[in-house]
Amino acid sequence: MVRTATVTDRLKNVRIFPQRLLQPETAEKLLNELDQVKGVVRMLISGKNLPRKITCGPGTGKDVNHPDRIIIHVSGCAFELHVIVGEVLVEVENESVVDELKKACERALPFPFEMKRGYFIKSKPTLTDYGKYGFKSKTDETINLEDERLLGLIDPHAKVEPNLCMIKAEGL
């Protein structure tokens, strides 16, 4: 029998939307606090791009050197911020984690924030994902990914390395 599609259980997502765009120090603190909460499966940060070079106008090609584009550490894993953090999407194992997330946000953020529950991170592979990763085999048409939690965390066209941070990889 040919398996025709990847089937995953949908986990609940929480969207954390602070009143202000976060400086790197606050973002680092928030992500570390969220990571301490048990039941967090994955997190996705998004915000406005901090380009390395000017991409349009008479200054095209000049370095920007934005002070917010720095390396932050989340649970011992270092990565460079490419955005000014505007929102954090968190996937949780169950609803009971949400209260803990709220407390973590209150500890990390010195200003109000909004939290919304729903489904914000892609959980099923799309045609572009299949184009990138392919099928597992001729008889198994599920997506050829060892860990399907990678889906939705990065743009299928983007490189994985600078955009993805694996924490506690040995436990996955």
Partner 1 sequence: MAYKPQYYPGNTSVAKNRRKHMAGDLEKMRDISDEDLTAILGHRAPGSDFPSTHPPLAEMGEPDCPVREVVEPTPGAAAGDRMRYVQFADSMYNAPAVPYWRSYHAAINYRGVDPGTLSGRQVNEMRERDLEEFSKDVCQTEITDWGLAGMRGCTVHGHSLRLQEDGTMFDMLDRRRLEGGVMVMDKDQVGVPIDRKVNLGKPMTESEAAKRTTFYRIDNVSFRSDKEVIEHVQRVWELRTKYGFVPKA
- The 16-35 contact track toward partner 1, x by CB under 8 A, reads --xxxxxx--x---------
Between CA 154 and CA 35, with CA 11 as vertex, the angle to 5 degrees is 65
Query: Is residue 10 within the footprint of partner 1 (CB under 8 A)?
Result: no
Q: Which residue has the tokens 């584009």?
A: 69
Q: Which of residues 92-111 bind partner 1 (CB under 8 A)?
A: 111
Binding-site member from 3, 5, 46, 51 for partner 1 (CB under 8 A): 51
Query: Is residue 15 within the footprint of partner 1 (CB under 8 A)?
Result: no
Residue 19 or 128 having the CB closest to partner 1: 19
Shortest Cβ distance from residue 59 to partner 1 (Å)? 4
Q: Which of residues 104-143 bind partner 1 (CB under 8 A)?
A: 111
> Do residues 153 and 164 touch, judged by C-beta distance below 8 A?
yes
Question: CA 41 → CA 93, 113, 161, distances in Å?
Answer: 7, 21, 19
Order of strands across the sheet that contains 40-49: 40-49, 83-92, 13-18, 113-118
Tell me the backbone φ, ψ of residue 169, rounded to 5 degrees: -60, -30
Shortest Cβ distance from residue 46 to partner 1 (Å)? 13
List contacts with partner 1 (CB under 8 A). 18-23, 26, 48-51, 54-59, 62, 64-67, 84, 86, 111
